[in-house]
């Protein structure tokens, strides 16, 4: 079972890179043992970033929800199940989404106060 670290130990803005192990590859999706990546959901876009392992670096497309978080990449055949990888979340994207998310809560609270 994958540990969805964004639910229990969310790194917030400026997330550091993290290391994990590839537990599976299906089509163009990588499954990691654990992940700090925030998947798309509830109107919030998912994280993107980079996946690195022994000289190989691939962009991670928008992370998707599911029973296990999907980390979509091009050329997944460059990796194997069991590989240790480093994941770097796109910091600018994460920070921008965090700011927009917070702003939306403020706007919603004001709307509730003004119009019920």
Predicted pLDDT at 98: 81
Residue-level pLDDT at 103: 80
Reading the chain (116 residues) residue by residue, the pLDDT tens digits are 676 766 666 667 788 899 999 999 999 999 999 998 989 988 889 999 999 998 899 999 999 998 899 999 999 999 999 999 999 999 999 989 888 877 888 888 999 999 98
64/83 Cα distance (integer angstroms): 21
Nearest of 90, 91, 81 to residue 32 by alpha carbon: 81
Q: What pLDDT shows up at residue 7?
A: 62
pLDDT of residue 13: 78
């Amino acid at each position: 079972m994958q540990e969805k670290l964004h639910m229990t130990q969310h790194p917030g803005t400026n997330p550091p890179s993290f290391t994990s192990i590839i537990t599976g590859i299906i089509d163009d999706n990588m499954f990691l043992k654990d992940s700090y990546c925030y998947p798309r959901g509830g109107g919030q876009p998912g994280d993107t970033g980079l996946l690195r392992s022994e000289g190989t670096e691939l962009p991670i497309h928008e992370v998707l929800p599911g029973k296990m978080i999907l980390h979509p990449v091009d050329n997944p055949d460059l990796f194997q199940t069991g590989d240790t990888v480093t994941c770097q979340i796109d910091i600018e994207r994460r920070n921008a989404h965090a700011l927009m998310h917070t702003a939306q809560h403020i706007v919603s609270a004001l709307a509730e106060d003004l119009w019920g």
